[in-house]
Amino acid sequence: MSEVKISAEPRTEFGKGGARRTRRAGKVPAVLYGHGEKPKHIALPAREFAAAIRNGGANQLLVLDISDGTQALALPKSIQRDPVKDTFEHVDLLLVRRGEKVTVEVPIQLTGDAAPGTLIVHDHDTLTVTADATKVPDHLEASIEGAEPGSQVTAADVTLPAGVELAADPELTIATVTAAPTAEQLESTLPEAEEATEEAEAGAGEVTEAAAGASAAEGEAGAEGRTEA
């Protein structure tokens, strides 16, 4: 994986308020830690960081050029995103050294086509591996070419580049191949689905009628109370 140089600056404001101000300024709050050093709070330019992750993936190797005159080599360890805006909320960065081995989660891509009439169930989208910090692959591949129903792809089936070692259980299931439902099977489930929908609608109607009745009763009771008064 290629390295991406990105600017950074020390961050002096902490807490939720400080983080919000950092994000409003177009930066991403981050913490740099590792190798027994004291954690360093920094801010990254949001656009540059987003571009680096978009092009290199979550394991993009970053060369941080910090405005205090220091430089650091780091890998994203944890990235928090806003679920609505899909912006970066906070990043934990792990200090690494060239030649150092790191354990990371790498995305898995399935290649090829399974046998006709099958469905692929993805059990795990990433795999834990150990690799040189400067040579972490952006993805791993596993073939499902011609896979028949009932077969599985395990961690041991994933192709690992030279220098990358498996850190997960070799028997970990990555994907399962199942038989696709037939047209007859799909049709047989339609009456059950329609019946369930009708029961749900009937139940909702009963709840609405009961609520309306209770509301009317309360109104009558209130009216009687006012008349007596």
* pLDDT tens readout for residues 21-72: 999 999 999 999 999 999 999 999 999 999 999 988 889 999 999 999 999 9
**Which domain-ending residue is among 96, 114, 132?**
96
Residues 85 and 107 reside in one and the same domain: no
CA dist list (Å): 133 to 3, 39, 108: 11, 19, 19
Residues 114 and 30 reside in one and the same domain: no
Check: CB of residue 180 under 8 Å from CB of residue 152.
no
Residues 14 and 82 reside in one and the same domain: yes
**Which domain-ending residue is among 69, 96, 123?**
96
**Mean pLDDT, rounded, for 167-184:** 91
Check: CB of residue 59 under 8 Å from CB of residue 101.
no
Question: What domain range is 114 assigned to?
Answer: 103-179
Domain of 36: which CATH number?
2.40.240.10
Burial class (CB in 10 A: 0-12, 13-18, 19+), 93: buried
Residues 63 and 38 reside in one and the same domain: yes
Which pTM was predicted? 0.72
pLDDT of 77? 93
Residues 89 and 130 reside in one and the same domain: no
pLDDT of 227? 44
Residues 161 and 190 reside in one and the same domain: no
Higher-pLDDT residue of 181, 228: 181
Q: Among 128-137, 170-179, 182-191, where is mean pLDDT lowest?
A: 182-191
Q: Which residues contact 177 (CB under 8 A, 6 or more apart)?
A: 114, 115, 118, 119, 120, 121, 144, 147, 148, 149, 150, 151, 152, 153
**The tokens of 47 are what?**
């656009």
Residues 154 and 171 reside in one and the same domain: yes
Residues 90 and 18 reside in one and the same domain: yes
The 10s digit of each residue's pLDDT in 115-172 is 999 999 999 999 999 999 999 999 999 999 999 999 999 999 999 999 999 999 999 9
Residues 16 and 87 reside in one and the same domain: yes
Domain of 112: which CATH number?
2.170.120.20
Examine the pLDDT at 194 and tell me if it is beyond 70: no
Number of domain units in the chain: 3
Examine the pLDDT at 199 and tell me if it is beyond 80: no
Residues 227 and 191 reside in one and the same domain: yes
Residues 155 and 196 reside in one and the same domain: no
Q: Which amino acid is at 52?
A: A
Residues 164 and 115 reside in one and the same domain: yes
**Which residue bears the tokens 């330019």?**
45
**Which domain-ending residue is among 66, 96, 126?**
96
Higher-pLDDT residue of 216, 72: 72
**Mean pLDDT, rounded, for 87-102:** 94
